Amino acid sequence: MTAIYIIVAIVLIPLIVALFVSKDMNYEKSIYIKAPIDQVWKNVSSLSAMDKWSPWNERDPNMQRTLTGVDGTPGAKQSWKSDVKNVGEGSQTIINVEEPSLLETKLEFIKPFKSIADAYVKLSEDNEATTVTWGFKSQMPYPMNIMKLFMNFEKNMDKDFGAGLNILKSISESRD
């Protein structure tokens, strides 16, 4: 009988703890780019422009991509499929464009796990320079939200977002 109580406790305790862990997943990272806002906007204003600095494209150069709609406008959608575990499968759809300061998209991940996120790239001008903030808002489903207690999502995201923003900085400052 003691074994049954132990098994029940092993199952119930994490489920109970997960009830008190936030499901919210919000992350953003910013970078200062020494280029005018219009120059930077050219590199963030469409899905194909974002491909040039996406850190995930380097992980799978053979990734299958499909673009539908008019790129750079609401409704444009890029789907991807990759056999590389950390790239997976999903789509990104432009939902709002406010030139030259905001691009909002909806991310839908299918693999390695199903998830939906609202992503954005915000630009703000400071003289002849631009601050770019790249981020997303999402929710982890219960009881998977308990993983937030054991994994450092911010550290993992920081690496990828930092790499992408540094590529964007290099592209934007080269003014080609």
Nearest Cα neighbor of 101 from 26, 5, 22, 37 is 37
Residues 6+ apart with CB under 8 A from 70: 76
Question: Is the whole-model pTM more than 0.75?
Answer: yes
- Under the phi-then-psi rule, with left for phi > 0, alpha for psi from -120 to 50, and beta for the rest, what region is 72? left
* pLDDT on residue 17: 72
**Tens-binned pLDDT, residue by residue, of the chain (176 aa):** 788 888 877 887 777 776 777 778 899 999 999 999 999 999 999 999 999 999 988 888 889 999 999 999 999 999 999 998 888 999 999 999 999 999 999 999 999 888 899 999 999 998 889 999 999 998 887 787 777 777 777 778 899 999 999 999 999 999 65
* pLDDT on residue 7: 84
**């320079």: which residue's tokens?**
129
Q: Do residues 130 and 124 touch, judged by C-beta distance below 8 A?
A: yes
Distance CA 6, CA 149 (A): 22
**């499968």: which residue's tokens?**
89
CATH number assigned to the domain comprising residue 92: 3.30.530.20
Distance CA 80, CA 111 (A): 10
| Residue numbers of the domain that contains 121 | 2-174
Distance CA 165, CA 29 (A): 8
Distance CA 143, CA 78 (A): 30
Residues 6+ apart with CB under 8 A from 77: 47, 67, 68, 69, 91, 92, 93, 94
* pLDDT on residue 176: 53
Number of domains in the chain: 1
